[in-house]
Structure 1
Amino acid sequence: MTYFGTTGGIIAAASKKSAEPLKIVGSIPVVKRIVLTLQQANVFPIVIVTGTREAEVIHQIASSGVIFLHTDNCEQPELLASLKQGLAYLKNKCQRVVFTPVNTPMFFPSTLKAILSCDAPIVAPSCHGRGGHPIILRHDIWDRILAYVGNGGLRGAIDTYGVRRHWVSVEDEGVLLNVHNEEQLERHLKAHNDSLLSPVIKVNIESEQIIFNARLKLLLFLIADLNSVRQACIHMGLSYAKAWNMINCLEKEVDYSIVSRQHGGSKGGHTKLTEKGEQLMRAYQVYEQELNDIAQVRFETLFRRTSLV
């Protein structure tokens, strides 16, 4: 698949020992908080590397439009292993990635947008002279990270290859906060909730019923990548029957094939997007992002600048 978006996301949530993806901060799990932050910056696709409490994570987050990558090594995986798994999946799908552990959920959307505005191989935020998360990794260094087998995790890989980090100073203590420090999380919660306040546009294309939405966009994206409806469903937490119902309803409405099916054979069957199916998916992605951008500008004008919210 050729590039589908500019920026993808990787959330490391696999470790049984330390990751707490479903820890509630405010009224939502920390993994949901990170997803909301990434989506405000138009990050897509978002990959969650799962392990601990995987079934619960998928159940709670599947409707958020993310991709789940299972890891068997979840007893005490290194962050670098989760990063590598995410990079291997996103290779050739986007030009850079936002990487963060699930235990660092409190950075502001404005902080993410600030570091995304910098074009460097590695960009990271710093607050009060201390480096934090998330980290931006440009595609031209992914192969070196994937090939690294030494010690020291990502920092070891960066030091070995001599790639300099570009630091962006921010007034956001959330880049430093870990879920294990509940007192600091509580102090930062209102500021983070205020930062998340924004318009959320759900783009549905409808006739008598919804025929295309963000959920179907993700399904088609995964079919294009995996050539399998069943595997696409596993990666997005969607039932197989529901997926085919969505595809069949769409094909009936638009009156052309969205997918091509090949049954059986020595290598088993597979399903691919048709050319028009891929055109539809990409057009929806552009349309959805443009509407969200317009909504954000109008929100700033009508609500933020007038201090109504």
Structure 2
Amino acid sequence: MTIPTQSDNSEKRQKTTGGIIVATGWSSGENEPHPLLKMGSITAVKRIVLTFQQVGISPIVIVIGYEAEKIEHDLADYGVIFLLDEKYETSQMFDSAKIGLSYLLNKCDQIIFNPVSILMFTPETIKKMMECGKNLLSPSYHGKTGHPLLISSELIPKILKYNGNTGMRGAIKNIGVERQWIDIDDEGILHDADDIDRSNELLKKHNQLILHPFVRISIEKEFMFFNSKTKLLLILIEDTQSVRNACKHIALSYSKAWNMLNELEQELGYTVVERKQGGRNGGKTYLTKEGTEFLKKYQQFEQNVRKYAKDEFIRLF
């Protein structure tokens, strides 16, 4: 079933949308894994992240495997969350997808899922998909189904239960929900990164479409003590109740994380994280009431600044 590209329901436009990029393995024709293939002057995985960020997808989860440290370094300043597929050498893409889906369960209303090999779709394509308000949606170009795939969060538990051998396609058939399609004038939804010649043809157009303001926001006194990296650290501490586990998801050393937290508390003048020792599973770390409130205010401030920057960019450029 093909649906219209427009939605009149403003409530549906307010849904929170997370993103999953599976970036675990090799390309078939180059000496670099797909995530690190250069498309223009940036890597394939960074190009997808920029596209996601332009339409407000957050959080963005990157499932990594081969050359994980290089990918973490490439995206260190882009506010993404890394999840390691420790069995990437033998895993299928659906196995890696399930790692991302498990993490985002109950964290957003819907998810945009994409393999790193498909990278030339436009921000407008993602925006139209996000606004449709459908539970399971694929883009279509001239009758051919492409990526990415939109999944309502309410379908995630059913997808995670699927253990068949036909991957995401089998999971979709198994959950008993009709997938719908949206007609898109975007050849990039079909384009595989291994097709280098076609990549070069689409690159100029895609670069123009991902033109956007990139705003770095920090809080300072005599020096900077809070930025997007610190924000993500607090979010992950709140989520994992562990500084060590939080560090694993953002390519941050344990000692560096505590230095950041100690500096933050010193500059703010109050405790941001609370450590609780003991128990069978070891100690846990929580955000204090003041820490939670500070994080909430910063996120609102960040959202307001970026909205203003985007509106002004559109008006002036």
Structures share fold, TM-score greater than 0.5: yes
Residue aligning to 1:146: 160
Q: Which residue of 2 aligns with 1:9?
A: 19
C-alpha distance after superposition, 1:277-303 (max 9, x if no partner): 122222222222222222222211111
Q: Which moved more, 1:274-283 or 1:235-244?
A: 274-283
Deviates more, 1:88-97 or 1:263-272: 263-272
Say which SS state the counterpart of residue 282 (structure 2) adopts.
coil
Match in the other structure for 2:313? 299
Kept after mapping to 2: 8 A contact 1:11/1:48: yes
Aligned pair partner of 2:248 in 215, 229, 234: 234
In 1, Cα distance between the equivalents of 2:201 and 2:25?
26
Q: In the alignment, residue 11 of structure 1 is paired with which amino acid?
A: I
> Equivalents in 2 of 1:167, 1:134: separation in Å?
11
Q: Using the alignment, how far apart are the partners of 1:81 and 1:141 within structure 2? A: 16
What does residue 65 of structure 1 align with?
79
TM-score normalized by the length of structure 1: 0.92
Equivalent position to 1:39, from 53, 78, 86: 53
Within 5 Å, give how 1:1-309 maps onto structure 2: 6-16=16-26, 20-264=34-278, 266-303=280-317
User: Identity of counterpart residues, as a percentage?
Assistant: 45
Aligned alpha-carbon RMSD (Å): 1.7
Measure how far apart 1:147 and its partner are: 0.7
**Local SS of the residue matching 1:256:** coil
Q: Distance in 1 between matches of 2:65 and 2:116?
A: 12
Secondary structure in 2 matching 1:65: coil
Inter-CA distance 197–17: structure 2 relative to 1 (3 Å threshold): closer
Deviations 1:156-203 (A, max 9, x none): 121222312232222211111111000111000001110111111111
Given that residues 15 and 76 in structure 1 are in contact (C-alpha distance below 8 angstroms), is that contact kept between their aligned partners in structure 2?
no
The answer to whether the 8 Å contact 1:229/1:243 transfers is yes
Q: Deviations over 1:205-264 (max 9, x none)?
A: 222122221111110011111111111112100122221121112111221111001245
Q: State the AA in 2 paired with 1:238.
A: L
Q: Distance in 2 between matches of 1:8 and 1:114?
A: 15
Distance 1:138 1:161 in 2: 12
1:16–1:51 contact (8 Å) kept in structure 2: no
Provide the secondary structure at the position in 1 that maps to 2:281: coil
- How far apart are 1:276 and its partner, in Å? 2.0
TM-score w.r.t. length of structure 2: 0.89
Check the 8 A contact 1:123/1:166 in 2, yes or no: yes
Deviation (angstroms), 1:48: 0.8
1:76 and 1:182, CA in 2 relative to 1: closer, same or farther beyond 3 A?
A: farther
- Paired residue secondary structure (2:134): coil
Structure 2 unaligned regions, length at least 5: 1-14
SS of alignment partner, residue 58 of structure 2? coil
| CA–CA separation in structure 1 for the residues paired with 2:145 and 2:305 | 34
User: Separation in 2 of the partners of 1:271 and 1:234?
Assistant: 15
C-alpha deviations, 1:133-161, integer Å up to 9, x for none?
11111111111101111232111121222
Partner SS for 1:82: helix
Measure how far apart 1:16 and its partner are: 4.4
CA distance, structure 2, for counterparts of residue 104 and residue 290 of structure 1: 31
Alignment size in residue pairs: 299
Instruction: Work out the CA distance in 2 between the residues paired with 1:170 and 1:219.
Output: 37
Q: Which amino acid aligns with 2:233?
A: L
Moved more, 147-156 or 114-123: 147-156
Pair 1:286–1:165, CA change in 2 (3 A): farther
